[in-house]
Structure 1
Amino acid sequence: MTSPLVLGPMMRFVDETSASIWVETHSASQVTVRAGVNSWGARTFAVHGHHYALVEVMGLAPGTVTPYTLEVDGTTVWPDPESGLPASKIATLAPGRPLRLAFGSCRTSVPHDASGNRSHGVDSLRAYALQMASDDGTPWPDLVAFLGDQVYADSTSKQMQKFIRSRRSIKEPPGKELKDYEEYAHLYYLAWSDPANRWLLSTLPSTMIFDDHDIRDDWNASRTWKQEMAATPWWHERVVSGLASYWVYQHLGNLSPEERAQDALWQRVVRHTGDNELDIGAELDRIVERADANPETYRWSLCRDFGDTRLLVVDSRAARNLSPDRRALLDDVEMAWLDDSMRGGFRHLLIATSLPFLLPMGLHYVESWNEAIAEGAWGSLPAKAAEKLRQALDLEHWAAFQKSFQRLAVLATEVADGKRGDAPETVMFLSGDVHFSYVAEVQRSTGSRIIQAVCSPIRNPLPRLMRFVTAISSYGLAASSGALAARSAKVPDPPFRWSGIKGPWFDNNLACLEVAPEGMNLWWQKGVVEGGDQLHPRLQRVASLTIAPRKTTPRNIAPGTVEQHTPQGP
């Protein structure tokens, strides 16, 4: 018998007294969450023939862990008694408890058998799920932050292509890439339906932000790129479907109850009293179509405070201004929001942005040089060549938007110098995207430590040749030669210098951090198959370090200021 539940339950926003639980069902339904003697319910709403509910669980006690069940039209559909996995639980935040966070990006959805693990590596998220299900005493994070590319709309698996072929000719544009909302819905199903990952996401709260592959490679890299896409007959439906599905599957659950109360579309859902299920598909399409045309009409970024730690999750894709005279990674409205949110008075300030703010310096200079040439610093013919290079090599990170890079560098430095409230111990950027992991630090002798921590990919490793090319182009002589190239195009120098203190490494990884008395602990973990048991990989630590607070006496930054560990694993 087919379950009335398609996807979920997914534990999304959780604070000290509330939890938001998201589901997709097969048909219009009443969804009920039961925890202890209490229950909470919500009716489904419809989007393009699909049915969803977000149940707001309210009135919980802080710092408690409560098992829950899920019903659809009075029938218990979760947990699955045949899964062998533990009961799903609601774990509210405890006042004063230091933050523990998992993060990473770039996860492809292919089978977890020998073939899938050979082509895409072991899914580090799934290995993490299996360890947590074993209940070995490992503390649970308060949150997992998915920093982009949870789904790949432009590079599809055989399973996704089979679904596409069942609906349309794959020989017609956009071919093997996604075309519409129905295909996005199936792509999310493939991403979130594995039993172990599904169980993990039913208990572990999550926040999410998109990156380019959620829509298409190089999404909003430049005005030229956007004009080329707009000229295709399929792009408009693709970007509207991608953003509408993102709103449903990812963004809605990011919001707190208070933030959802300010969302006009969501208020239409909760206030609907008619007998029929409310269909918001057309209205949602209009909202995201307007947001794509004018990013200032909708904000995807968010801010959350966890006691003495502030987490900013920044949209570095949709909020871009691509006009030649105002080119910026964040438009004026988004930058004003970030300016207002970048404050001291916290022990740690975390800025989660899918694109690394601090690339290895060699890559930083190459991207800043390329932007200048592509925008006409050497004339029209070199600009065309630079644009082709930009798109071919994905040269469109913060470094390739110098106006935004320089502004954010000033904001981070002002926070670190105590000019925006008491200086925190660390100003830390959390990122993904680049398919290798590393930690870098700005060279400072006073104030807060400014750190870049990258975890990428969760499951989509670079080919070995690309690993070699990436390492060569990022480090060593690449930095000095890149700096000369950037200066030749009159690119301003960065306001500070930075260097690597850990990495790079190229494993599939899920990273974790925890606020501890000694500072900020970080570690990266991967899945390892033993004895040919592809479905039950063991979690192995790849790298770890502690970012200790700066001593009162000013001193120069050096790798020795970071307590580094080398546990089992490479």
Structure 2
Amino acid sequence: MSTGTTPAGSGPETAQGLLLGPMLRHVDDTSASIWVETATACTVEVRSGPDAWRAATFAAHGHHYALVEVSGLTAGSVRPYAVYLDGVPAWPLEDGFPDSMIATLDPSRKPRLAFGSCRTSVPHDESGNRTHGVDAMRAYALSMAAPGHGSWPDLVLFLGDQVYADSTSSEMQAFIRKRRNIKEEPGAELKDYEEYAHLYRLAWSDPANRWLLSTLSSAMIFDDHDIRDDWNSSISWKRDMQKTNWWHERIVSGLGSYWIYQHLGNLAPKERAADPLWRRILAHEGPGELDLTADLDEFAGRVDAAPESYRWSYCRDWDAVRLIVVDSRAARKLEPGQRALLDPAELAWLDERMRGGFRHLLIGTSLPFLLPMGLHHVESWDEVLSSGKRGRPRAWLGERLRRAVDLEHWAAFQRSFQDVARLATEVADGKRGPAPQTVTFLSGDVHFSYVSEVARKNGSRILQAVCSPIRNPLPRFLRYFAAALAFGPAVPFGAWMARTAHVPNPPFRWNGIKGPWFDNNLAILEDTGEGLEFSWLTGVVRDGDHLHPRLDTVEVATLQSRRE
């Protein structure tokens, strides 16, 4: 079987007018959502056997999109599908990959999901693999396309930095140079919606990854590089951005394109039906295609100015497993005296959903909730230093450190860390319904992977599992620095600094039980019924064949439920 030998970077196959997708997004036991970008306005039709579902495209900034809601399916069914544009077949391509499938959830089957973060879009040839390593997602796609592959996950959860708006590849920069003077601000970073649209095409058009995303349901949440490094790390950072002549267009374009390319497919049909932009799309009766540009830009500008006016977080239940995906970037309070990673409305939403009664409670957050202990102490100390409580010179130093080494995770927002730690502990202690086997945070961002556990004698296990990066490894010298900061001398020194700054003690202690490792990885989580099993998978080039890497296992962690 051919496995997509088209060189990445040579331009995506248009597939008879299908520019991007199809992407299988939200799937439950009876419905599925399929997203596409097309070259022109048209009617998009998804066909599976004798059944067909249709949607008209809508436009934004000269691009055309559709999300087809496939309904009336049978739980636990697996059906091949095809995509037609105005009655003309556009998918599947004859490229050697298997048919794309819709696999609905089976309530009798224990959930299995893949997760990871941080994936750069550079070619998959020898040069790209030398600088960025093998794309773990692509290696996984090739493995799953081969005969005799293993069990499919129910979902792949992307925990941020699917696109890098502030650190662009040579291919992206070539596109920018054709449009504007790259020496003028914002330089090689993205400027507007058109550039975001091209960046998404680079990220999702490689044949292997494109096929994977057409047949494996995906859920997503942003992190800083989807917009810009250190996005909303502090009020000082935000004010510096607002002084520029390009930031407003950047944030409006970034949030608007995120709603279309990532967020829209996250939503269940009932949630989507309540979304104001989607309702605008459904209400359009023609003539012609709806142009959503003005509504989209107004929406993005408003939710940036008033984050509490819209929620990017969402929640999914699989029978005995709940997944809560938390926005840890846009829903922040940065004003002095109110600093919080979750604003009051977002915290209240999370509070309502942090409940027992499930076998496992999973919390997806791009930023690790439980950093390695040394790094946690350093970040909590830096938050106090940057606040100005110890004088302006130290505040200046704290802010410089925060931006230089990314000291802006949950630990750097102590109010929110303490709030969520309390919620997690109450669930684990059975104070919010029957205690689950685990309360598990799933995260990315830090460019190394690990598993940590809260030290507890009774109740549920509280775990942190990190998979980062999918494709963007730290340079080797930075790996040693990160390891030292997180696990080495920083542990006792960071604890001492936190005490001197009068940082409240964490409500519990935690320890690393696996890791760290720094490979490009995609993680697989499986509910075994007796606990959770994690596997971290990486791509390895054999015999110089860079376009067809093999899949290897980096680490396995089996975490059985605690016996009372």
Contact 2:110 2:529 in 1 (8 A): no
Structure 1: segments with no counterpart, 5+ residues: 553-570
Q: Which range moves more in the overlay, 110-119 or 514-523?
A: 514-523
C-alpha separation between the residues in 1 aligned to 2:267 and 2:323? 14
Contact 1:378 1:489 in 2 (8 A): no
Deviation at 1:268, TM superposition (A): 1.5
Correspondence 1:29-108 to 2 at 5 A: 29-81=42-94, 83-108=95-120
Residue equivalent to 1:21: 34
Deviation at 1:236, TM superposition (A): 0.2
Deviation at 1:551, TM superposition (A): 1.5
Equivalent of 1:304 in 301, 307, 316 = 316
C-alpha separation between the residues in 2 aligned to 1:4 and 1:521? 42
Contact 1:355 1:433 in 2 (8 A): yes
Residue equivalent to 2:456: 444
Deviation at 1:65, TM superposition (A): 0.4
Equivalent of 1:155 in 158, 162, 167 = 167
Provide the alpha-carbon RMSD of the alignment.
Answer: 0.8
1:412-436: per-residue Cα shift (whole Å, max 9, x none)? 0000000000000000000000000
C-alpha separation between the residues in 2 aligned to 1:289 and 1:331? 18
Equivalent of 1:316 in 314, 322, 328 = 328
Structure 2: segments with no counterpart, 5+ residues: 1-12
C-alpha separation between the residues in 1 aligned to 2:277 and 2:231? 26
Residue 251 in 1 paired to residue 267 in 2?
no
Deviation at 1:251, TM superposition (A): 0.1
Secondary structure of 1:527 counterpart = strand
Residue 126 in 1 paired to residue 138 in 2?
yes
Contact 1:455 1:511 in 2 (8 A): yes
Aligned partner letter, 1:63: G
Alignment TM-score, normalising by the size of structure 1:
0.96
Contact 1:97 1:307 in 2 (8 A): no
Contact 2:143 2:149 in 1 (8 A): no
1:165-199: per-residue Cα shift (whole Å, max 9, x none)? 00000011000000000000000000000000000
Secondary structure of 1:284 counterpart = helix
C-alpha separation between the residues in 2 aligned to 1:107 and 1:477? 30
Residue equivalent to 2:129: 117
Deviation at 1:267, TM superposition (A): 1.2
Residue equivalent to 1:5: 18
Residue equivalent to 1:354: 366
C-alpha separation between the residues in 2 aligned to 1:99 and 1:61? 17
Secondary structure of 1:187 counterpart = helix
Secondary structure of 2:423 counterpart = helix
Deviation at 1:519, TM superposition (A): 1.4
Aligned partner letter, 2:249: E
Residue equivalent to 1:560: none
Contact 1:438 1:504 in 2 (8 A): yes
1:220-242: per-residue Cα shift (whole Å, max 9, x none)? 00000000000000000000000
C-alpha separation between the residues in 2 aligned to 1:190 and 1:283? 26
C-alpha separation between the residues in 1 aligned to 2:505 and 2:436? 26
Residue equivalent to 1:535: 547
Deviation at 1:300, TM superposition (A): 0.1
Residue equivalent to 2:275: 263
Aligned partner letter, 1:500: G
Residue equivalent to 1:426: 438
C-alpha separation between the residues in 1 aligned to 2:31 and 2:343? 33
Residue equivalent to 2:238: 226
Deviation at 1:518, TM superposition (A): 3.0
Contact 2:116 2:158 in 1 (8 A): yes
Residue equivalent to 1:237: 249
Correspondence 1:497-512 to 2 at 5 A: 497-512=509-524
1:383-436: per-residue Cα shift (whole Å, max 9, x none)? 011111111111000000000000000000000000000000000000000000
C-alpha separation between the residues in 2 aligned to 1:348 and 1:519? 8
Residue equivalent to 1:189: 201
Aligned partner letter, 2:400: K
Aligned partner letter, 1:428: T
C-alpha separation between the residues in 1 aligned to 2:533 and 2:239? 44
Deviation at 1:120, TM superposition (A): 0.1
Residue equivalent to 2:348: 336
Residue equivalent to 2:401: 389
Aligned partner letter, 2:64: H
C-alpha separation between the residues in 1 aligned to 2:490 and 2:395? 22
Count of aligned pairs between the two proteins: 551
Aligned partner letter, 2:189: E
C-alpha separation between the residues in 2 aligned to 1:29 and 1:216? 34
C-alpha separation between the residues in 1 aligned to 2:375 and 2:259? 32
Secondary structure of 1:523 counterpart = strand
Equivalent of 2:220 in 195, 208, 211 = 208
C-alpha separation between the residues in 2 aligned to 1:197 and 1:476? 37
Residue 145 in 1 paired to residue 160 in 2?
no
Residue equivalent to 2:303: 291
Residue equivalent to 2:3: none
C-alpha separation between the residues in 1 aligned to 2:298 and 2:285? 23
Aligned partner letter, 1:140: W
Aligned partner letter, 2:150: T
Residue equivalent to 2:8: none
1:256-296: per-residue Cα shift (whole Å, max 9, x none)? 11001111210121221112100111111111111111110
The alignment-based identity, stated in percent, is 67
Correspondence 1:161-176 to 2 at 5 A: 161-176=173-188
